[in-house]
Amino acid sequence: MSRLRNGLSRLSIRWKMTLWAAALMCILFIAYNAIQYIVINNWMFAQTESAALKSAEEISSYFEIEQVKESSVRSIRPFIESLNSRNQMIRILDRHGTPVLTVSDNLPEDWITPRQAYSTTSVTAWHGDDHLLVIRRPVGTASFTGTIEIVNNLENSDKLSRMLLAVMLAGFLGAFLLSGLGGIFLSRKLLGSIRELTVTMNNIKRKGLQERVAVSNGKDELGNLANVFNELMNQLEQAFHNQQQFVADASHELRTPISIIEGHISLLNRWGKNNPDILEESLQVSVQELGRLKNIVNDLLELTRAEALRSDGEFSATPVIDTVNYAVQNFELLYPEFVFQRRLDPAAGAKVNMKHHLLEQVLLIVLDNAVKYSAERKEITVSAAVIGGSVGISVSDRGIGIPDEDLPHVFQRFYRADKSRSRAQGGTGLGLAIAERLMRAHGGAITIASEPGEGTTVTLHLPLLTN
């Protein structure tokens, strides 16, 4: 038994499904045919028994109606012969159990011993290979007392039963073969997607993350599995690409301040440490570049948190106007030379499902960019309005604007439309990337409209929180 179990455990799922399908079909077929065989056998026996009992009843009625006497029993032979059927014997016994009349059709008298009956009985007996049904019914009239004995050879019923059994066995073998073939077909059909999934995984190991499962039917469970796998691979490929891009961009951005610091330290190490002017200049530049390194690292950490942000199920009903006012007031204190105009009444009472400090962080990034790139016309307008089922928060400046060719790239890491100006103002090129990912994590979006030389409008879109 353990060997059989071990052998089955080594089989593939395809062959396991085939064997289970064949076994299940065979069990159902055997159960159905067994019930059918028993029912048909019992029905045929009941029909034969009912016919014999009916014949015995007719003979008994004849004795009563015709007032047959023991001395005249032989005279009713023609009537008995008319009732008798093939492979059947009818005997009339007197009160002592002695046969007084026997009518037989191809059934020897000595196969069954005559026996007197005091009630109607139905029994089966065997004579060699012959199966017999014996009906005995007592007869009691004013002129005769005895027993009617009917013996029926069940040979034809047994032949039919054996033929039926042979047909059922042949059907069982056919069902076993067909169920096995059906199991193979179904297993190939059902496991096709899994086989393609396995092939794709092996291709991914050899060729890379760009391989995908071909989905022929995406409506069933296996199709859904293939779709989920493809979506997962898309996310994994994107994450891998982002990681590569992140490493490349971070290496590039970190290389510049490190090289500047390294150059000044080498300068001091060679001959500048004895020159107070060079020493002062090198220390100032090194401190400035270290601050820039710190800002890059902090922004990288913020970007990582923003990309890993997932909804934790916590509900935050943040008032839009309160958060915007708080952020703008802080900038009014930091940059008193700027004029901040607020148009927030259209969003009165509006709330969003975003934590207060995260919405404030996005606003600070957008306001900081507006201040940086508005050196000449220091006017910034902050407005908010409810549009359909969302809230829009717009920050408009009158700065240098963004060229059209740069607009599609402004949310990429370390991207700067004006690289020299951004570096001079201390930008890392990560602010908008952080803001875009925070908005996306909360079901929102961020859009930018800009006209070079006229200014830029950044709009935050968040789903409106309703009761």
* pLDDT tens column, 323-353: 999 999 989 988 899 999 999 999 898 999 9
Q: What is the pLDDT of residues 123-140, one digit of tens each?
A: 999 988 889 999 999 998
H or E segment to which residue 384 belongs: strand 379-387
pLDDT score of 4 more than 60: no
> In b/e form, how buried is each residue of 123-142, taking b as 16+ CB within 10 angstroms?
eeeeeeeebbbbbbbbbeee
At residue 216, the pLDDT reads 64
Q: What is the pLDDT of residues 247-295, one digit of tens each?
A: 776 676 677 678 878 887 887 777 766 777 777 887 887 887 787 778 7
The answer to whether 464 and 347 are in contact (CB under 8 A) is no
Residues whose CB falls within 8 Å of the CB of residue 352, separated by 6 or more in sequence, listed in order: 317, 318, 320, 359, 391, 442, 444, 462, 463, 464, 465
Token pair, residue 444, equals 């929102």
At residue 421, the pLDDT reads 45
At residue 319, the pLDDT reads 92
Token pair, residue 189, equals 């059909």
CA 354 → CA 6, 203, 312, 364, distances in Å?
Answer: 57, 42, 11, 15
At residue 149, the pLDDT reads 96
At the topology level, CATH places domain 212-308 in: Helix Hairpins (1.10.287)
Q: How far apart are CA 134 and CA 126, in angstroms?
A: 10
The answer to whether 176 and 25 are in contact (CB under 8 A) is yes
At the topology level, CATH places domain 317-463 in: Heat Shock Protein 90 (3.30.565)
The answer to whether 406 and 353 are in contact (CB under 8 A) is no
What's the burial of 34, exposed, middle or buried (CB within 10 Å: 0-12/13-18/19+)? exposed
Residues whose CB falls within 8 Å of the CB of residue 4, separated by 6 or more in sequence, listed in order: none
- The closest alpha carbon to 182, from 426, 15, 18, 415, belongs to 18
**Integer Rg of the chain from CA:** 50
Q: Name residue 122's beta-bridge partners.
A: 135
pLDDT score of 371 more than 60: yes
Q: What is the mean pLDDT of residues 200-215?
A: 76
> Cα torsion at 419, 420, 424, 430 (round to 10°)?
10
Mean pLDDT of the chain: 82
pLDDT score of 378 more than 80: yes
pLDDT score of 315 more than 80: no
Q: What is the pLDDT of residues 133-168, one digit of tens each?
A: 999 999 988 889 999 999 999 888 888 888 888 888
Q: Which residue has the higher pLDDT, 420 or 373?
A: 373
Task: Indicate the pTM of the whole model.
Answer: 0.48
At residue 77, the pLDDT reads 92
What percentage of residues in the chain have a pLDDT greater than 70? Answer: 84
At residue 157, the pLDDT reads 83
At residue 1, the pLDDT reads 56
Q: What is the pLDDT of residues 20-77, one digit of tens each?
A: 777 777 788 888 888 888 898 899 899 999 999 999 999 999 999 988 888 888 899 9
What percentage of residues in the chain have a pLDDT greater than 90? Answer: 30
Domain positions in the chain are 11-162, 212-308, 317-463
Q: What is the mean pLDDT of residues 98-121?
A: 92
Q: Which residue has the higher pLDDT, 75 or 193?
A: 75
At the topology level, CATH places domain 11-162 in: Beta-Lactamase (3.30.450)
Q: What is the pLDDT of residues 384-431, one digit of tens each?
A: 999 888 999 999 999 888 888 888 888 877 776 555 444 445 556 778
Q: What is the mean pLDDT of residues 175-193?
A: 73
193: left (phi over 0), alpha (psi -120 to 50) or beta: alpha
Q: What is the mean pLDDT of residues 165-184?
A: 79
At residue 53, the pLDDT reads 93
